[in-house]
Amino acid sequence: MGMERIEVHIPSDLTFERVVRASTDEIGKVLEIPTDRLEDLKLAVSEAVCNAIEHGNQQMADKLVMVVFTVDTEKLEVHVIDQGTGVDIERLDFSEQHVEDAHIEGEGRRGFGMFLISALVDQYEVKSSEEGTTLTLRLYRKEIEP
Amino acid sequence: MTTLVEREKFGEVVILHIRTNSIDAVSAASIEASCNEMQPITVLNFREVAFINSAGISVLLKFVVKARKAGYKLFAMNLSPHHQKIFKMVEMSRFMPTIEERDLAAYR
């Protein structure tokens, strides 16, 4: 298989998150990732891309989100890279989040994205500098082979 | 704004058929608008829904909030196994349990 690295660049508009999701779906099918694992990956990628658009690039039209898929014999990695000014990694909260009365009384606070990322991929890591943030999602292929 | 939700009402029951395959930031506003269609027994039909992300969960929470405030019962129907798993993970299923189509027959 000749697929080792694929890049998708999108503007900072949430509409284009769907393009990345569709790309993830196609790549996952080529790699024969089982359906349930692929659904998990698409959701994790979606969350990472939405974060990059909204929080990283602050939805600024002139900033791109780069999504780089890399494949080797061991793993599939998805690198989601924004052009923001960086985040304080210590303050990122990947902890388990549930719908609770507080959410309901607070009228639908959005706070599940990071938890979903942490729960749905084998590994994730964040690197950030004042030139942007990269969130890497990793799926090990021994897990994804049918 | 395109309507992505089709309403089917009988008695005090309304089924809100979600006519998009993606509940996300793009479809959120249209889906949220159908909160106004809620009845004492409200069923969200997810048959055509292939994808829900956290922006989508956030929209669905609006239905939970309204149901809680109005004392309505809220159910999810035709949720895929993947979304049943996600709902369980975030405990949405506590506030929006699943219902089978046949369970609605008594209300028709």
HEC per residue, chain A = CCCCEEEEEEECCHHHHHHHHHHHHHHHHHCCCCHHHHHHHHHHHHHHHHHHHHHHCCCCCCCEEEEEEEECCCEEEEEEECCCCCCCHHHCCCCCCCCCHHHHHCCCCCCCHHHHHHHHCCEEEEEEECCEEEEEEEEEHHHHCC
The verdict on residue B105 lying in a domain is no
Q: Which residue has the higher pLDDT, A111 or B31?
A: B31
Q: Is B95 on the interface with A (CB under 8 A)?
A: yes
Range(s) of the domain holding residue B52 = 5-95
Confidence of residue A146 (pLDDT cuts 50, 70, 90): low
- From A131's Cα to the closest Cα of chain B, the distance in A is 26
Q: Write down the mean pLDDT value for chain A.
A: 90
Q: Residue B94: closest CA among chain A residues belongs to which residue?
A: A99
Angle between helices B81-89 and A35-51 (to 10 degrees): 50
Under a CB-based contact definition with an 8 Å cutoff, are residues A50 and A20 in contact?
A: no
Provide the domain count of chain B.
1
Q: What is residue B99's three-state secondary structure?
A: coil
Provide the domain count of chain A.
1
Under a CB-based contact definition with an 8 Å cutoff, are residues B44 and B104 in contact?
A: no
Q: Is A79 on the interface with B (CB under 8 A)?
A: no
Contact B92 A36 (CB under 8 A): no
Candidates A41, A54, A104, A109, partner chain B, best to mutate (most B CBs within 10 A): A104
Under a CB-based contact definition with an 8 Å cutoff, are residues B6 and B17 in contact?
A: yes
Range(s) of the domain holding residue A77 = 5-144
The verdict on residue B23 lying in a domain is yes
Looking up residue B51, the CATH number of its domain turns out to be: 3.30.750.24
Looking up residue A125, the CATH number of its domain turns out to be: 3.30.565.10
Please determine, for the modelled complex, whether the ipTM score is greater than 0.90: yes
The verdict on residue B107 lying in a domain is no
Mean pLDDT of A92-106: 75
Give the tens place of pLDDT for each residue, B36-69: 999 999 999 999 999 999 999 999 999 999 999 9
CA distance A54 to A50: 6
Assess whether pLDDT exceeds 90 at residue B95: yes
CA distance A55 to B79: 30
Q: What is residue B9's three-state secondary structure?
A: strand
Could you give the C-alpha distances from A23 to A27, B5, B104, in angstroms and in order? 6, 27, 38
pTM of the model: 0.92
Amino acid (one-letter) located at A70 = T
